[in-house]
Amino acid sequence: MTTTQTRFFDELAKLMTNAAGAAQGVRREIDTLVQSQMERLLNNMDLVKREEFEAVKAMAQKARAENESLAARLAALEAKSGSEGASDSRAD
């Protein structure tokens, strides 16, 4: 009777091990399916990748700095031109 019980528990352990292995396999398949669906959804949304965003952000920062530099140069030239224009009009 002891060997029958031992054999029963051995078979039950094998069955549980197989069930756990099958559950892990199903979990992997579900993970893969969910991941592929999410990738497809994100691709359909036409989102920007991080690398592209960072590149455009850097370009915008550089353009803003150049714009500020050019605005300062323009203001200096206008101030210089304005003072020369004022001295020319006084000469008349």
Q: What is the pLDDT of residues 18-77, one digit of tens each?
A: 999 899 999 999 999 999 999 899 888 888 889 999 999 999 999 999 999 999 999 999
DSSP type of residue 1: -
Asked if the model's pLDDT at residue 89 lies above 60, the reply is: no
Contacts of residue 31, Cβ cutoff 8 Å, sequence gap at least 6: none
The pLDDT score that the predictor gives to residue 83 is 78
CA distances from 56 to 2, 60, 63 (A): 75, 6, 10
